[in-house]
Amino acid sequence: MCAIMGFTKKSRTREEILPYFDQTLSRGPDMSSVVETPSGWLCFHRLAIMGLDESGMQPFSLDGDMVVCNGELYGWRELRTELEGKGYTFQSGSDCELLLPLYREYGLDMFSMLDAEFALILYDSRTDSLVAARDPIGIRPLFYGYDYDGGMVFASEAKNLIGLCKEVFPFPPGHYYAGGEFVRYADLTTVDVYRKDDLETVCQNIRTKLIAGVEKRLDADAPLGFLLSGGLDSSLVCAIASKILGKKIRTFAIGMDGDAIDLKYAREVAEYIGSDHAEVIITKEDVLKALPEVVAALGTYDITTIRASMGMYLVCKAIHEHTDVRVLLTGEISDELFGYKYTDFAPSPAAFQEEAKKRVDELYMYDVLRADRCISAHSIEARVPFGDLDFVKYVMGVDPALKVNTYGKGKYLLRHAFEGDRLLPEDILWREKAAFSDAVGHSLVDDLKEYAESKYTDQEFRQLSSKYDFATPFTKESLLYRELFEAYYPGQAKMVKDFWMPNRSWEGCDVDDPSARVLANYGASGF
Catalytic positions, written as ranges: 2
Beta-carbon count within 10 A of 172 CB: 16
Cβ-in-10-Å burial (0-12, 13-18, 19+) of 81 comes to exposed
E-only strand ranges, 74-115? none
Phi first, then psi: what are they for 522, rounded to 5°? -65, -40
Straight-line distance from the first to the last Cα atom of the chain, in angstroms, rounded to the nearest whole number: 35
Please answer whether residues 233 and 335 qualify as being in contact, where contact means their C-beta atoms are separated by less than 8 angstroms: yes
- Cα–Cα separations (whole angstroms), residue 425 to 34, 266, 405: 51, 11, 22
Phi first, then psi: what are they for 12, rounded to 5°? -115, 150
Report strand pairing: 276-282 vs 250-256: parallel
3-class DSSP assignment, residue 144:
strand
Dist. CA 30–CA 45, nearest whole Å = 7
Dist. CA 188–CA 210, nearest whole Å = 16
- Cα–Cα separations (whole angstroms), residue 88 to 52, 97, 306: 21, 11, 46
Report strand pairing: 224-227 vs 327-329: parallel
Helices (H) and strands (E) in the chain, counts: 19, 17
Please answer whether residues 368 and 135 qualify as being in contact, where contact means their C-beta atoms are separated by less than 8 angstroms: no
Q: Who contacts 424 (Cβ-Cβ below 8 Å, separation ≥6)? A: 235, 236, 239, 269, 272, 273, 418
| Beta-bridge mates of residue 117 | 72
Report strand pairing: 65-73 vs 60-62: antiparallel
| Beta-bridge mates of residue 162 | 165
E-only strand ranges, 75-204? 116-124, 129-134, 143-146, 152-155, 169-170, 175-178, 181-184
Beta-carbon count within 10 A of 244 CB: 13
